[in-house]
């Protein structure tokens, strides 16, 4: 049963990534693209967590945590760049 649930979760997350990818390419504005990128970060992290359960190993946890941190930082940095034209003032 767990295997079926895992596969359903994988399919859902992959579909979600495709929808995000559409928004990333389509735009229409820059904040839209940043939002899509941020969502892709979070979904990639979710895929790593799922892979960890699938292969029954805790190694993927660190990768997921680092993606979470880097995703947040990059979203804040890019939005700040849009706002001020500068990141570190």
Partner 1 sequence: MMIVEILVSFFLILGAFFALAGSIGLFRLRDFFTRLHGPTKATTLGVGCLAIASAIYFTFHKEGISLHEVLITLFLFITAPVSAHFLAKAARHQRLHEDKDHPDA
Distance separating alpha carbons of residues 27 and 22, to the nearest angstrom: 8
76, 87 Cβ separation under 8 angstroms: no
- Indicate whether 16 belongs to the interface with partner 1 (CB under 8 A): yes
- Indicate whether 76 belongs to the interface with partner 1 (CB under 8 A): yes
Q: CB burial class (10 A; 0-12, 13-18, 19+) of residue 20? A: buried
Binding site for partner 1 (CB under 8 A): 1-2, 4-6, 8-10, 12-13, 15-17, 19-20, 22-23, 26, 28-32, 34-36, 38-39, 42-43, 45-46, 49-50, 52-53, 56, 58, 61, 64-65, 68-69, 72, 75-76, 79-80, 82-83
């Amino acid at each position: 049963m767990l295997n079926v649930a895992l596969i359903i979760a994988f399919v859902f997350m992959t579909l979600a990534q495709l929808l995000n990818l559409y928004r990333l390419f389509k735009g229409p504005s820059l904040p839209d693209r940043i939002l899509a990128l941020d969502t892709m970060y979070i979904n990639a992290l979710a895929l790593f967590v799922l892979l960890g359960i699938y292969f029954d190993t805790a190694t993927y946890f660190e990768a997921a945590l680092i993606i979470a941190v880097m995703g947040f930082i990059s979203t804040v940095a890019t939005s700040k760049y849009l706002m001020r034209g500068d990141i570190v003032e």
